[in-house]
Amino acid sequence: MEEGLSISMKVRRLFDRQLAGWPQAGDNYRALAGVETREERIGGFPVKIQFNPARIVSSAAKVDTKSIKERKCFLCEENRPAVQEGIDYEGEAGNYTILVNPFPIFPRHLTIPDKSHIKQQIRGRYGDMLDLARLLDEYVLFYNGPRCGASAPDHMHFQAGNKGFLPMEMMAESLEKELLAREGEAELFAVGTYARGVFLIESSSREDAEKLFEGVYSVLPVKEGEWEPMLNILTWCVNAEGARWYTVIFIRDKHRPACYFAQGEENILLSPASVDLGGVFITPLEKDFRKVDVARLKDILDEIAPPAEEIGRIKAALKRGSL
């Protein structure tokens, strides 16, 4: 009987059942023990490069309109494996199912899709993300925009991975920060890291954090033909009882770098999303794991980020009180 258990405890039991009774998931989680990782530093910030063959499913996903229309949505309940169980969660903006991700990056990796087949869009759902981060306080929640690493841009979903894995989470307290705005018990900062266009919200109030996030979202450009600014988000909660949230927002200008599409020796199958920007770069092919170095990572990060003048415009708008 799970009635009366916290969501966190229900998730622990879900993992135990799924890894024991779902061979594909169990094999892929056990394979993480043999995943090869090496550590580097970009501008003094520690990052990891992971060789994870199982992630080819996500890294090589075709997300063009034609391909999406032609495939069945793997996040819809009727298309998921019969063996895949879930935990229902009713949010303020949507109703979700918490699932074990069978193609993990983290030792504990969740996918949290909305029960309805509705497009990937964070506006109006950031509060749900904060609530989930508080309830799943052993996890970092993350969101990949529809053109920022989401392999299912047609179906709204969050993901979550256990704390203590992403360098960004562990380094958040020591980041170089520039205060841009304050709203009640929440503060918005521009953050100096290894990438351009990184912002941080620190808050002990859900409502105040939502106001700051909406302010950031509202000043970001939306490309022609798209329905959302290009961004990735990490959110976690420290001290679930007292509830202090950290949200890192990565502003994007490009989905995939040129090397992703290059031929021959220039090809590197690296499609940056929240986990990569959080400091763990995923390479599903061994050739790329061997090839990728700090210089190449910096080039990729520079290519997908907005130009410095665009970041300056965003910061100026936030400082002027556009919130």
How do residues 133-181 score in pLDDT, each as one tens digit?
Answer: 999 999 999 999 988 887 788 899 999 999 999 999 999 888 889 999 9
User: What confidence score (pLDDT) does residue 63 get?
Assistant: 45
Bridge partners (DSSP) of residue 36 are 51
Bridge pairing between strands 280-283 and 45-51:
parallel
- 3-state DSSP helix/strand/coil % of the chain, to nearest 5: 35, 25, 40
User: What confidence score (pLDDT) does residue 210 get?
Assistant: 96
Please give the sequence-ordered ranges of beta strands (E in DSSP) within 91-185, or none if there are none.
95-100, 109-113, 139-144, 157-162, 176-183
Of 229, 230, 60, residue with least CA distance to 151: 60
User: What confidence score (pLDDT) does residue 66 get?
Assistant: 64
Alpha-carbon gap, residue 160 to 141, rounded angstroms: 4
**HSE-CB of 178 using CA atoms within 13 angstroms:** 13
Give the residue ranges of the chain where pLDDT is below 50.
59-61, 63, 322-323
Bridge pairing between strands 87-90 and 95-100:
antiparallel
Bridge partners (DSSP) of residue 245 are 203, 237
User: What confidence score (pLDDT) does residue 323 get?
Assistant: 44
User: What confidence score (pLDDT) does residue 321 get?
Assistant: 62
Q: Give, as one character, the DSSP assignment of residue 114.
A: B
Give whole-number Cα distances, 191 to 22, 112, 166, 198, 226, in Å: 41, 28, 16, 5, 26
Burial of 10 (0-12, 13-18, 19+ CB in 10 A): middle
Alpha-carbon gap, residue 323 to 318, rounded angstroms: 6
Alpha-carbon gap, residue 46 to 38, rounded angstroms: 11
Bridge partners (DSSP) of residue 112 are 158
User: What confidence score (pLDDT) does residue 34 get?
Assistant: 83
- Domains of the chain, CATH where assigned: 7-319 (3.30.428.70)
The angle at the Cα of 223, spanning 96 to 198, to the nearest 5 degrees, equals 70
In this structure, are residues 98 and 11 in contact, taking their beta carbons and an 8 Å threshold? yes
Backbone angles phi, psi at 140, to 5 degrees: -100, 125
In this structure, are residues 273 and 168 in contact, taking their beta carbons and an 8 Å threshold? no
User: What confidence score (pLDDT) does residue 1 get?
Assistant: 52
Bridge pairing between strands 87-90 and 109-113:
unpaired
